[in-house]
Amino acid sequence: MIDIDKVRADFPILKEKVNGKPLVYFDNAATSQKPQVVIDSIVNYYSTINSNIHRGVHTLSQKATDAYEAARLKVQQHFNAKNSYEIILTAGTTHSINIVATGFTSLLNKGDEIIVSALEHHSNIVPWQMLCERTGAILKVIPMNLEGELVMSEYDNLLSNKTKLVFVNHVSNALGTINPIEEIIEKAHNIGAAVLIDGAQSCPHIKPNVQALNVDFYVASAHKLCGPTGVGVLYGKEEWLNKLPPYQGGGEMIKKVTFEKTTYADLPHKFEAGTPNICGGIAFGTALDYMNSIGFDNIAAYEHKLLEYATKRLLEIEDLKIYGTSKNKTAVISFNIGNIHPFDIGSIIDKLGIAVRTGHHCAQPIMDFYKIPGTIRASFSFYNTFEEIDSLISALTKAKMMLS
């Protein structure tokens, strides 16, 4: 059970007014808000132990190193990774994907095939296109249907002994569809391909279990699950991380440097060149503690009620069309009203204090599929309320009257 008043009191920003109206924040799929414990963690770090990690013998440096490595262990535990060194702390999902996509350059040959899905975020499309340009590999796409689900029979047809890699998001950020990743992973493994799952949009709602999934790579961003921006995670199976070359050269990622030859550090440092986002990594750990204290089962159950209520109320508005109607989805609703441009509606309801996303949501291929320029996307979190959904409905009704 979510004690909504108690939860809301944890988030100082929820008391803010926007354009003179109480803030209604429904842009959680873009980034989540931060609870006071995470904000405190950042302030405490800079106020008490700020220093560089893994370097100094001095006390502060050791404290900072311990706190940073403790955060890595929290991430390991949260993802249920077998080893802490399989957790690479990165700058975010995009960075994590690029580490893998760049690393595969030397492992692919011309004519090899890579499979992505029609439901991907641009950050899980473009790095693979760049990889194909470098290697001559070919990109194949699992198509989607009108409900916004992947057509799994087509996936079966795409898999062959040429397939080397499969990249799919766990949850679509534009539509909220939860993809059948267990099946995707198993079928890819049956033909010997590696799988990367983009968990940027699932992690705020679903606790991943990378060992049970038997996934090769799983990536996410801290900022979508109550943590700060500029931090993320790349989980990789040890055997894969050992196969991939380092992404960036620099300090921290080496064992020994001479001008003749440099040997790379062991995992995870091989992929962590330079001074990382120390404070952000520590705050990421705090954010995971916070979300686990609320409980992911509670979060999922509460958000599902918000989703059902919002769907029902939105469909009361005449000419409103929802894109992405899978039964299996997180609390994200993409919609349009008649032929009104999403941006116009977004601007009007912003004046009423309501924050939604409008546009293509970094997923242009999905918009092309539906032949629309974009949608209005309301994405809900466990700190949102049913009353806030009522405010959205009356704001949309007002906007519709003004624009039609």
Ligand X SMILES: *Cc1c(COP(=O)(O)O)cnc(C)c1O
Nearer to ligand X, 71 or 233 (CB): 233
Q: What are phi and psi of 230, to 5 degrees?
A: 80, 15
- Kind plus residue range of the DSSP H or E element containing 265: none
CB of 219 to ligand X, least distance (A): 8
Q: How far is CA 236 from the centre of its chain?
A: 16
In terms of CB distance, is 264 or 369 closer to ligand X?
369
Nearest in space to 174 (alpha carbons), one of 367, 368, 369 = 367
C-alpha separations of 404 from 11, 286, 318 in Å: 37, 47, 12
Is the separation of the CB atoms in 165 and 114 below 8 Å? yes
Q: Applying CB under 6 A, which residues contact ligand X?
A: 92-94, 121, 123-124, 169, 173, 198, 200-201, 221
CA distances from 182 to 27, 235, 275, 347, 353 (A): 28, 17, 36, 40, 40
Minimum CB–partner distance for residue 128 and ligand X (Å): 13
Closer residue to ligand X in complex, CB, 24/200: 200
Round to whole Å and give the CA distance between 193 and 113: 10
Pick from 89, 87, 121: which is nearest to 202 by CA? Answer: 121
Helix (H) / strand (E) element for 255: namely strand 254-257
362 is catalytic: yes
93/384 with CB nearer ligand X: 93
CB contact at 8 A, 345 and 317: no
User: Least CB distance from residue 179 to ligand X, whole Å?
Assistant: 10
Minimum Å distance from CB 126 to ligand X?
11
Strand-pair category, 232-236 with 217-221: antiparallel
| Active-site residue, from 132, 226, 279, 362 | 362
Shortest distance in whole angstroms from residue 378 CB to ligand X = 15
Nearer to ligand X, 30 or 254 (CB): 30
Residues that are catalytic: 362
